[in-house]
Amino acid sequence: MSDTFLYLVQQLINGLTIGSTYALIAIGYTMVYGIIGMINFAHGEIYMIGSYITFIVIAGLLGMGMVSLPLILFIALVIAVLIASTYGWTVERVAYRPLRGTNRLIPLISAIGMSIFLQNYVVLSQGSRDIALPPQITGGWTFGDPNLFEVSFSYMQLFIWVATFVSMLVLTLFISRSRMGRACRACSEDIGMTNLLGVDTNRVIAMTFIIGAALAAIAGLLLSLYYGVVNPFIGFIAGLKAFTAAVLGGIGSIPGAMLGGLILGVTEALTAAYFPSEYKDVVSFGLLILILLFRPSGLLGKPEVEKV
Amino acid sequence: MGKLYNAIFSAGITFVLACLMIGVKLDTDGATLGVTGATPEQWAWIFGGIALVFFSQLFSDQIDAAFRKIPKPQVSHLIPVGDKMTQLKPWLMAGVFVCMVIWPFMVSRGSVDLATLALIYIMLGLGLNIVVGLAGLLDLGYVAFYAVGAYTYALLSQYFGLSFWVCLPISAGMAALFGFILGFPVLRLRGDYLAIVTLGFGEIIRILLNNWTAVTGGPNGISGIAKPTLFGMEFSRKSKEGSTLFHEFFGIDYSSSHKVIFLYLIAVVLVAFVIYVINRLMRMPIGRAWEALREDEIACRSLGLNRTAIKLSAFTIGASTAGFAGSFFAARQGFISPESFTFIESAIILAIVVLGGMGSQIGIILAAIIMTILPELAREFSEYRMLLFGLTMVLMMRWRPQGLVPMKRPVLELK
């Protein structure tokens, strides 16, 4: 196997790792958009808060002398998901619900306000500098020719792949099998009709914010462990990227968000590999503009029909 | 009983959320990461916050009623209407303009400088108002056009030695061109997409400025940008290559405040120009079309209005105003770097438009002044500035989405 091929394989592995976490965040955007037709602007901040909670819990448990890594990760996951979901619910309650039925711009602006508020809330309570945690999951496999180029696939990356896969499986089952999932699907078809049929749509909307926040918290846990660094400003770029992924796959479509996240992650890794890495953000936002230009409904999305 | 349950529930949620962010703090102790508890003072804040949430939920009906009882500032009633207004208006405008011109000669240099900054924000607010307030397009990357304007002047003056006055229209033109190129693909889509794409565009411009080191100087920015001149007269102490100096020409002593006042006066003239142009545009068919499109897109299209062209014109004109403000900003600072053009700046401009009242020019001017002066007065709270910004945006949308001074439209009633 040639040198360049192995390099490409390595980039694909890295890209899929990042991409799968983008996909997790993107699902939150896509679900909220699918149901109320609005962008949840504070979603990136929920992801950032999830990362912080992960660090707090892990640092706290390590400080208390706990050694079992799986247990620590499990507790961190549960707490991060719970707290981030509460934040997601609060965002819906404060910034969206009181404004339902007003001009579309109004909830969008209040959500931007919410996002600025949450970011600065974390800056004030945790400080604005980077906080680093030593890698918890270490080791991995390497293959390829040691003289030319060695491809490495770490346990951490495997962990991310597995965790993402499991979360998406659970979500898919939830949406397709459970009562609440059916209500979600019904709401995204026609929210007014669903309401008439006796479904508490307010609860469904709150539920989508909670599910989105929970997935964003999982992504926060995975990415913060992967990078080992958090700061209060990571939510902004991550939110933008995930939104790009959601649009790429077709906003409103859950499989689309998954696919979009993976494609975006790979594109970014390849850009960073063959061009100066500063331009990877430019390429992903450029990609967003190109999709909107040529295929506004995304890869798997349904074209939007304007109703009078 | 429902109220009490609701209040207890909200207080509980607040407690959980506050505990895990304010109550524990991550601390790096050497190489290991530790967690420390909050100080008693912080706990006091947390419990204060919880009590606030509890009681505001418990008495939410009473609070809402009290809010409704507060007489809303009826500024619009102070302004005479009808024939009287058409007679008074030119005099009123002239009076305000004269006051604006005389004022800087009586106050300190610092306040003139601050007023110049406020005028820049007024320009930006008015420009964004065309896009957000009149045409109803949410632009979150407005600062990109501001940056384009600033860098156009800085680069042209650095590489080609062009003067401020030549660059001013060029900067506006460049920003308009960028607005046109960006708007063309995106404006055919729904509003929310526009918000995100413009946000992404703002980031792209900032990243490009940061990394295209050969031309833009990267993160170090561009310094030593030439100041504006008055008919070729410079405002510096010593002349560079034989150019006339302002104080020599008029035979007065050199004073550094001349330059500050001169910059202020340029800003006043620019703002007056922008207000004039926008007011004319609003009365033209195109301005009417902007508002009509915002109110009902489908109705507009069935009346034969070209949706894309109208949105594009609003977007482009808004962008050119930012370009205008940008080149003046570069000239005033003498130094620009990508740091000045972050998303927060876009958010501040948007907050000005939202607080002032979307579409209302008087409101935006007031909001721009408040937003510039308030942080200066409350320096000790500067770390809470952005937090309060965010909170104000949420609360404004909830209680007064039409802004401080709502836009007044001519209304004709059938009796």
Mutate to test the interface with B, among A58, A99, A117 (most CBs of B within 10 A): A117
Q: Does A30 touch chain B (CB under 8 A)?
A: no
Q: Does B347 touch chain A (CB under 8 A)?
A: yes
Q: Chain B partners of A104 at a C-beta cutoff of 8 Å? A: 191-192
Which one of B69-83, B132-146, B370-384 scores highest in mean pLDDT? B132-146
Per-residue model confidence (pLDDT) at position B44: 84
pLDDT at B245 over 90: no
Task: Report the half-sphere exposure of B207 (CA within 13 A, side-chain side).
Answer: 18
Which distant-in-sequence residues (6+ apart) come within 8 Å of B23 by Cβ? B37, B38, B42, B43, B46
Q: Chain A partners of B350 at a C-beta cutoff of 8 Å? A: 109, 112
Tell me the fold of B91-399: ABC transporter involved in vitamin B12 uptake, BtuC (1.10.3470)
Q: Report d(CA A153, CA A142) in Å as an integer.
A: 6
A56 and B193 in contact by Cβ < 8 A? no
Give, in order, the Cα–Cα distances in Å from B166 to each of B162, B211, B229: 7, 28, 11
A135-177 per-position pLDDT tens digit:
888 887 887 767 777 788 888 999 999 999 999 999 999 998 9
Q: Which amino acid is at B7?
A: A
Q: Does A307 touch chain B (CB under 8 A)?
A: no
A280-307 per-position pLDDT tens digit:
778 888 888 788 778 777 787 776 655 5
The nearest alpha carbon in chain A to B42 belongs to A125
B393 and A236 in contact by Cβ < 8 A? no
Mean of per-residue pLDDT scores for chain A: 87
Q: Does B142 touch chain A (CB under 8 A)?
A: no
pLDDT at B409 over 70: no
Break chain A into its structural domains and give their ranges.
Answer: 3-294
A306 and B298 in contact by Cβ < 8 A? yes
For A240, the closest of B203, B208, B210 (CB atoms) is B203
Which distant-in-sequence residues (6+ apart) come within 8 Å of B149 by Cβ? B171, B172, B174, B175, B322, B323, B324, B325, B326, B327, B329, B330
Q: Report d(CA A41, CA A28) in Å as an integer.
A: 11
Pairing of strands A149-154, B222-223: unpaired
| pTM of this prediction exceeds 0.80 | yes
Per-residue model confidence (pLDDT) at position A301: 73
Buried b (16+ CB within 10 A) or exposed e, A220-232: bbbbbbbebebbb
CATH, domain range A3-294: 1.10.3470
**Least confident piece of the model among A96-110, A168-182, A210-224:** A96-110
* Residue B226 vs residue A28, higher pLDDT: A28
B373-405 per-position pLDDT tens digit:
887 777 777 778 888 888 888 888 887 777 777
For A108, the closest of B13, B138, B200 (CB atoms) is B138
Mean of per-residue pLDDT scores for chain B: 82
Q: Chain B partners of A301 at a C-beta cutoff of 8 Å? A: none
Per-residue model confidence (pLDDT) at position B236: 65
Sign of the CA dihedral running B112, B114, B118, B120: positive
For A292, the closest of B25, B197, B401 (CB atoms) is B197
B8-30 per-position pLDDT tens digit:
888 888 888 887 777 787 777 66
**Least confident piece of the model among A74-78, A271-275, B103-107, B302-306:** B103-107
